[in-house]
Amino acid sequence: MKLLRLLVLFLTVPAVAQQGGMWIPSLLSGLNEKEMKSLGMKMKAEDIYSVNHSSLKDAVPQFDGGCTAEVISPQGLLLTNHHCGYDNIQSHSTLEHDYLTNGFWAMSQAEELPNPGVVVTFIVSIDDVTTKVLEGTQSLSEEARQKKIQENITSLTKSLPKESWQENSIRTFYEGNQYIRFITETFKDIRLVGAPPSSIGKFGSDTDNWVWPRHTGDFSMFRIYAGKDNRPAEYSKDNVPYKPKHFLPVNIGGVKENDFTMVFGYPGRTTEYLPAVAVEQIVNVLDPAKIEIRDAALKVEDGFMRKDPQIKIQYASKYAGIANYWKKWIGEVQGLKKSNAVAIKRNYEAQFTQWVSKAGKQAEYGNLLPDFEVQYKAIEPYALGRDYFVEVALRNTELLTIGYRLYQLEQVYNAKGAQSFTDRKNNTIASLEATYKDYSKAVDEKVFEQLIALYINKVPKQFLPDALLNANAAQLTADVYGKSGLVSYEGVKQLLAGEPAAVIQKLNADKGYQLIKAMTAAYMEKVAPKYEEINLKITALQRTYMKAILELSPKDARIFPDANSTLRITYGKVKGYEPRDAVYYEPVTYLDGVIEKYVPNDYEFDVPQKLIELYNKKDYGQYGENGKMPVCFIGTNHTTGGNSGSPAIDAKGNLIGLNFDRVWEGTMSDIHYDPNICRNIMVDMRYVLFIVDKFAGAGHLVKEMKLVK
Ligand code: ARG
Ligand code: ASP
């Protein structure tokens, strides 16, 4: 028994250590390759990234800045998430053609819908430019150093060789210890090809968001169009479908537990190398504050949305936006606590201290950890003040958010004069029309009352503007919402009408405007400068800490750079997990689960009639498996925001799934990845094809693809 235990321990430890990490595809090490092969990968590193011949990276662009997509046909057909294409699907929707509700399918290329402003960016090549970026920065003060680095980056971005239709982009890795240049190509004519109804693409909505078991068909399809020379071009009806250097074949052979998977994409931001003291602050101070603010806003909105269908439509997207990270932070705090992240970090730091002394590097690295303690203590009130300002004023109270935009207008007037002011004013007036279309004074007023009360009570007193010191939230609310012009589009237009000087005068006499201006001024004077000052010190410490970790860790340590919206690969296995005692979650869900969750006419859990019919007839075509239709699966790939729409790729480089979320218990993976409970969630490609082919009758799209088994 004992021996067996020991054996199991030895056998499982290395397997666990092979998980996690977001790696730069051009810099995969022998160790990465060995791990990937031991997990079952059948490709060479050259197949993943190569500058000499086409490789996987040529099929995986960033989608519109924030998501990932993949090319899945020789005619530039592009797959991403429904939630990534959501805004575009929405903007083509009208009451007569409600594509959000009913879905949209172009039955020919002529029917595909252009999306002005949407872009898709491919990586052409990746190379290290650290020496060039750091030139002339030695022995500069931190502030001067940052400035010089920025200057170097700006000039290198202009001067490094590339083709005329390409872009240079230089990004930092390992917190300022490495700089990498990407040559990119950005396509600007991206047309909507298809989207399932929200009852499939957003099935489960906010209730199921960040949750496993999941049953969402979170996908949509676009097509990249290029000029006749196959290069990026502005929209033109004469553009032609882009011929990609590589597209992903789709494997409909299916997945099972322990299969190798790899996710390729553009993860946005992680902070995996924070010291324990920083994680403690997130868990105990910053996340709880943000959760409390959003909790209050969501409760108010939800109350109104349940009673009033008009408000439900107006606030659906805003609500989902606020709820997404509110829910993520709650999971993050629980996960960090449950996985003992702080204690694990403290242990690591004890070990780190030993490395430092063994290497005789006390002079260089010996003060790092104590300095972190000092600086994080020092920044705490400022970080809190900043989070309150961002969450209350800039994010969740509409009147203040709108007021802030007008405040920026006044800044333009002061800095650049009347003409710039008028140009920007006209843009602001135009864009505010859409804002007010979805604005309810009643909702916003209640949100304001709750959030301003939190602001008054929770923001450290010394950071409050006079207007909020000892203010009474209810009275202030009645005053602002009774008198401010910002509570309606008409009111704002009146405030903004007339000569620049007169407009500025009117604004400054407005109750709502006065408040946001006072809040901003207090923030700018009392919080921001000190926050920036300490943050600069923390940035420098973090850079040195990262350098020390890279230098002193054992040779085989797996140290990956934090996510920074650049192309990465992460690999792992299809795997279930144990969310809590005695409960095991299987790694695959089926259409049966959709039917189990079905609530007729519910805004989250309704199911289209056609899908129910297909289910009843078990009419799954070539996509089913033993009479069942797979829907989603999970794996140990280390992903984050921005990985939405990323391809999940099998051992041979075929597409098997589409990444879109993570499991609730593992949302702390941005700070501390625990292979026991961190899982990414993917839609099974067989479900995607089944919906396209059997549900939507758009089999011509499947014919474009290359299917393998
Ligand atoms: N949680 C996923 C990601 O962060 C999906 C979000 C979209 N879905 C939603 N119900 N809000 O972005
Ligand atoms: N849902 C996220 C995204 O939109 C992915 C994640 O955070 O796991 O990128």
Looking at the CA of residue 645, tell me the nearest atom of ligand 2.
Answer: 9
Instruction: State the distance from the centre of ligand 2 to the C-alpha of 369, rounded, in angstroms.
Output: 32
Find the mean pLDDT for residues 387-415: 97
Band the pLDDT of 18: cuts 50, 70, 90.
low
Nearest to 293 by CA among 398, 392, 381, 399: 392
pLDDT digits (tens, 9 = 90+) for 218-264: 999 999 999 999 999 999 999 999 999 999 999 999 999 999 999 99
Looking at the CA of residue 209, tell me the nearest atom of ligand 1.
Answer: 10
3-state secondary structure 499-554: CHHHHHHHHHHCHHHHHHHHHHHHHHHHHHHHHHHHHHHHHHHHHHHHHHHHHHCC
pLDDT at 455 over 50: yes
Residues 232, 185: contact at Cβ < 8 Å?
yes
Q: Is 599 exposed, middle or buried (0-12, 13-18, 19+ CB in 10 A)?
A: exposed
| Ligand 2 pocket, residue 265 CB under 6 Å | no
Place of tokens 């393998």: 708
d(CA 517, CA 529): 17
pLDDT at 307 over 80: yes
d(CA 660, CA 645): 6
Residue nearest atom 4 in ligand 2 by C-alpha distance? 644
Which tokens go with 388?
């309150």
Residue 435 CB neighbours (<10 A): 15
Residue 136 CB neighbours (<10 A): 11
Comparing 313-327, 399-413, 636-650, which segment has the lowest mean pLDDT?
313-327
In this structure, which ligand is nearest to the CA of 318? 1
Instruction: State the distance from the centre of ligand 2 to the C-alpha of 219, rounded, in angstroms.
Output: 13
Residues 440, 315: contact at Cβ < 8 Å?
yes
Asked about 700 being catalytic, the answer comes back as: no
Nearest to 541 by CA among 281, 364, 351: 364
Looking at the CA of residue 68, tell me the nearest atom of ligand 2.
Answer: 9
pLDDT digits (tens, 9 = 90+) for 508-562: 999 999 999 999 999 999 999 999 999 999 999 999 999 999 999 998 899 999 9
Between residues 102 and 603, the one the model is more confident about: 102
Nearest to 571 by CA among 61, 48, 123, 9: 48
Find the mean pLDDT for residues 33-52: 92
pLDDT at 15 over 60: no
User: What distance lies between CA 347 and its chain's CA centroid?
Assistant: 30
Angle between helices 398-416 and 418-437 (to 10 degrees): 170
Considering the entire predicted model, what is its pTM? 0.92
Which tokens go with 503?
């407009």
Find the mean pLDDT for residues 16-36: 86
446: three-class secondary structure by DSSP: helix
299: three-class secondary structure by DSSP: helix
pLDDT at 7 over 90: no
Instruction: State the distance from the centre of ligand 2 to the C-alpha of 397, rounded, in angstroms.
Output: 25
pLDDT digits (tens, 9 = 90+) for 268-286: 999 999 999 999 999 999 9
Place of tokens 């009347």: 418
CA distances 257 to 375, 575, 635, Å, are 45, 5, 9
Residue nearest atom 2 in ligand 1 by C-alpha distance? 661
Between residues 93 and 27, the one the model is more confident about: 27
Residues 269, 686: contact at Cβ < 8 Å?
no
Residue 38 CB neighbours (<10 A): 12
Residue nearest atom 1 in ligand 2 by C-alpha distance? 661
| Ligand 2 pocket, residue 465 CB under 6 Å | no
Comparing 161-165, 312-316, 448-452, 622-626, which segment has the lowest mean pLDDT?
312-316
Find the mean pLDDT for residues 187-215: 97
Looking at the CA of residue 204, tell me the nearest atom of ligand 1.
Answer: 10
**Catalytic member of 82, 83, 215, 672:** 83
| Ligand 2 pocket, residue 644 CB under 6 Å | yes
Nearest to 202 by CA among 311, 97, 86, 98: 86
Instruction: State the distance from the centre of ligand 2 to the C-alpha of 573, rounded, in angstroms.
Output: 19
Residue 517: what residue type?
A: K
d(CA 505, CA 707): 65
| Average pLDDT of every residue of the chain | 95
Q: Which residues contact 682 (CB under 8 A, 6 or more apart)?
A: 261, 263, 632, 633, 634, 635, 648, 656, 657, 658, 659, 660
How confident is the model at residue 2, as a pLDDT?
Answer: 40
Find the mean pLDDT for residues 646-670: 97
d(CA 329, CA 286): 10
Query: What are the residue ranges spanned by the domains of the chain?
Result: 2-119+188-266+567-708, 121-187, 276-532
| Ligand 2 pocket, residue 643 CB under 6 Å | yes
Instruction: State the distance from the centre of ligand 2 to the C-alpha of 20, rounded, in angstroms.
Output: 16
In this structure, which ligand is nearest to the CA of 270? 2
Instruction: State the distance from the centre of ligand 1 to the C-alpha of 622, rounded, in angstroms.
Output: 30
Asked about 83 being catalytic, the answer comes back as: yes
pLDDT at 9 over 50: no
CA distances 303 to 299, 445, 451, 481, Å, are 6, 13, 16, 20
Instruction: State the distance from the centre of ligand 2 to the C-alpha of 400, rounded, in angstroms.
Output: 28
d(CA 682, CA 659): 4
Find the mean pLDDT for residues 81-98: 89
100: three-class secondary structure by DSSP: helix
CA distances 433 to 230, 436, 442, Å, are 38, 5, 18
Residues in contact with ligand 1 by the CB-under-6-Å rule are: 83, 205-206, 209-210, 320, 324, 641, 644, 661
How confident is the model at residue 309, as a pLDDT?
Answer: 83
Residue 160 CB neighbours (<10 A): 14
pLDDT at 670 over 90: yes
pLDDT at 601 over 50: yes
How confident is the model at residue 697, as a pLDDT?
Answer: 97
pLDDT at 379 over 70: yes
pLDDT at 608 over 60: yes
In this structure, which ligand is nearest to the CA of 22? 2
Find the mean pLDDT for residues 617-621: 98
Query: Could you tell me how many residues make up the chain?
Result: 709
How confident is the model at residue 11, as a pLDDT?
Answer: 38
How confident is the model at residue 59, as a pLDDT?
Answer: 98
Instruction: State the distance from the centre of ligand 1 to the C-alpha of 370, rounded, in angstroms.
Output: 38
Mutation probe of ligand 2 site: the residue of 644, 664, 667, 670 with most atoms within 8 A of C-beta: 644
How confident is the model at residue 1, as a pLDDT?
Answer: 38
Instruction: Report the sign of the C-alpha dihedral through residues 408, 412, 418, 424, in that order.
Output: negative
Looking at the CA of residue 206, tell me the nearest atom of ligand 1.
Answer: 10
135: three-class secondary structure by DSSP: coil
**Catalytic member of 58, 64, 218, 661:** 218
Pairing of strands 250-251, 707-708: parallel
Residue nearest atom 11 in ligand 1 by C-alpha distance? 320
Residues 381, 460: contact at Cβ < 8 Å?
yes
Which tokens go with 351?
């070990």
**Catalytic member of 644, 646, 670, 684:** 644
Q: What percent of the chain has pLDDT over 90?
A: 91
Domain 2-119+188-266+567-708 has CATH 2.40.10.120: yes
